[in-house]
Structure 1
């Protein structure tokens, strides 16, 4: 199953945090680690890797820390995933470093390759800016009531809140 690694998850949290703090403000590793209760050493390694790849700029000193190297709208989730985890693949044979013994006989490789490409396109379209924008998501669920009247049953529907959360 395709899922984000802890490193990618932590990186997305950190980048989202940095984005919300503003383009010119530097944010320390310690601030991010404390805010999200992340392991400081692992987070430091992740941020160093993102800096090495040109996605962050670091500065030293008492007010040092990290800031984005470019607008958050230009940094994609797909780029972060590739930097930290390599090329994502939903099936084993699509990974760059593997060979499949069923390659010549496989009947699902092509459809799953197309699915994998669609997932990659979605990751490459979603920016850090998009994931850092706090919004309340409200999902409603239709509920149907049956009323008994003189002429029989009558259905009426209402939308009831099913879930409200911060996205």
Structure 2
């Protein structure tokens, strides 16, 4: 019997896996409807009082997306006021949902990655995530990888789709 050889393991192929940078509990969504009367009506005095008495420390060192889960019609200053309370404790605050703040997380993380190990090598941008990596993050990642890699494929080594090849 012939020995089975793992040609992928022996190749210079590098895998770039976005799950390695997944934020886990560092990225959260804050739904402000919890401070609205019946989830819809903003009574300014009550709203300000609830914000003042809220324990903001739970958002310490987190990326926070401020959202409203209901179809409440809110004054333009609402999200800005919540951001005033979040800013001293959170790492980053945006007006957006969990996906939007996750993309911001990845923008920051991918700008700090050392891509030198991918220099002039074939790279697989790993697909088939077990975690919810937003689709937009793959677009961010390929733009970074294109500056370094010889070629980029998407997916898994056994069934990769070619995306880029340096000329």
Q: Which has the higher contact order (CA 8 A, sep 6+)?
A: 2
Bigger radius of gyration among the two: 1
Q: Specify the TM-score bucket, using the shorter chain as the normaliser.
A: 0.3 to 0.5
Q: Counting helix residues as a fraction of each chain, which structure ranks higher? A: 1
Q: Could you state the TM-score of these two structures normalised by the residue count of structure 2?
A: 0.32
TM-score of the superposed pair, with normalisation by structure 1: 0.32
